[in-house]
Structure 1
Amino acid sequence: MAPVFSHGDLRLYLLNLLDESPRHGYDLMQALSDRTGGTYTPSAGTVYPRLAKLEEEGLVTKTVDGRKTVYAITDAGRAEVAARSGDLEGIQAGLADSVRLIADEVRGSVREAMRSLQADLAAAAQSDQEAAKSGASRASAPPDDSRTVSREQLHRADAALSEFRATLRADLRTHVARGGNLAASVVDDLTSALDEAARAVTRALRG
């Protein structure tokens, strides 16, 4: 993926964050992660050298608060933020695009997972139907063999559904916890896909 911030943009965006309120280093790193929907989590080695440079330029100051170093913007820093408001608008637009990209990826993942689940269920249903129509299989199998197979397939279905639910739930929770946007359209797509899968299973069972 292309860098979220081009050359010089991170410096300006750090100033912008400090223009909102004083922050310590970890808070700045977390804010950057939140604003980019988790697509960009800078390291201390990226943020602190830029803060030191901003301090040298007289654009920020730092004070020690217990074990934390708090950075605050100066009047000169506010003047630069105001003078480069147009650049900041472009940066904000780029961050919004990153969040929308995440939403699209989540939506695509949901659709792909549901297509895969539907295909597996359809294949299993077809296999069961073919086995049921096979006279040779019925003649050689004990009376309760079909029930045994059905119970085994039921366990497989339960395991597949549980794994799908756990994986998707973890992905969604992680995405939201990182500050990502979970659009209503994504949930709508998920609900529709699940309804469609349920109908497909019902049709296969009745067929």
Structure 2
Amino acid sequence: MPPVFSHGDLRLYLLSLLAERPLHGYGIIQALSERTGGTYTPSAGTIYPRLAKLEDEGLVTKTQEGRTTIYEITDAGRAEVAQRADEIDGIQSGLSDSVRIIAESVRSNVREAMKSMRADFAAAAKQPPAPEEPPAEDPRAAARIQLARAETVLAGFRATIRADLRTHIARGGALTPELVDALTKDLDGVTARVRASLG
């Protein structure tokens, strides 16, 4: 995944965040994560050196509130934010585009996974009885075998989707509420059809 911020953009974006309100270090990290839809959660080792540099430049001050360090923008910092407002808007637009593209990619992957799952269910329903199935006079044993098959299919689906989602998140991808809602809706639909078939 390419860097979320180009050279110098993070410094300017930190100033724009502090222009909105004073923040402590963890609050800045949280704000960056929220603004990027979870695609970028910087480490303390990334944020604090930049805050120290902004302080050295006279653009930010810090005060202690108990054990918490609060960072606040100075007049000089506000002047730079105002002067470079167009650049900040461009950075925010780029972040929004990145979040949108990643979210669409995840939605597409989930849709493909759901199509594959429905195809697996359809194929399983059409398969002839396995040779090892018991004779018709033992319906409970036959039902237990089919239950085992169903559980295998469900376990495979869960493992695949879980692995795909975790890999996506580990690579810095976003997981939006809309995507989870769509997944929930599709699974609810499958649940309803299975229950209807069971009578």
Bin of the TM-score, shorter chain as denominator length = 0.7 to 0.9
Indicate how the Cα distance of structure 1 residues 104 and 188 shifts in structure 2: closer, same or farther if over 3 A, else same.
same
TM-score between the two structures when normalised by the length of structure 2 = 0.77
Report percent identity of matched pairs.
Answer: 58
Matched, 1:72 2:72: yes
Indicate how the Cα distance of structure 1 residues 189 and 45 shifts in structure 2: closer, same or farther if over 3 A, else same.
closer
Distance 1:56 1:16 in 2: 17
Q: Which has the larger radius of gyration?
A: 1
Indicate how the Cα distance of structure 1 residues 66 and 24 shifts in structure 2: closer, same or farther if over 3 A, else same.
same
Distance 2:102 2:64 in 1: 37
How far the C-alpha of 1:146 sits from its partner, in A, is 5.5
Secondary structure at the counterpart of residue 40 of structure 1: coil
Secondary structure at the counterpart of residue 131 of structure 1: coil
Indicate how the Cα distance of structure 1 residues 84 and 72 shifts in structure 2: closer, same or farther if over 3 A, else same.
same
How far the C-alpha of 1:120 sits from its partner, in A, is 1.9
- Aligned CA RMSD, in angstroms, stands at 3.6
Matched, 1:131 2:129: yes
Indicate how the Cα distance of structure 1 residues 118 and 179 shifts in structure 2: closer, same or farther if over 3 A, else same.
closer
* 1:1-207 correspondence to structure 2 within 5 Å: 1-127=1-127, 130-131=128-129, 141-145=134-138, 147-158=140-151, 160-161=153-154, 181-183=176-178, 187=181, 191=185, 195=189
Distance 1:157 1:98 in 2: 39
Task: Answer with 114-123 or 52-61: which moved more.
Answer: 114-123
Is this contact kept in 2: 1:114–1:197, CA < 8 A?
A: no
Is this contact kept in 2: 1:60–1:77, CA < 8 A?
A: yes
Distance 2:41 2:183 in 1: 29
- Give the length in aligned residue pairs: 190
Amino acid of the structure 1 residue aligned with 2:74: T
Indicate how the Cα distance of structure 1 residues 179 and 82 shifts in structure 2: closer, same or farther if over 3 A, else same.
farther
How far the C-alpha of 1:193 sits from its partner, in A, is 7.8
Secondary structure at the counterpart of residue 45 of structure 2: helix
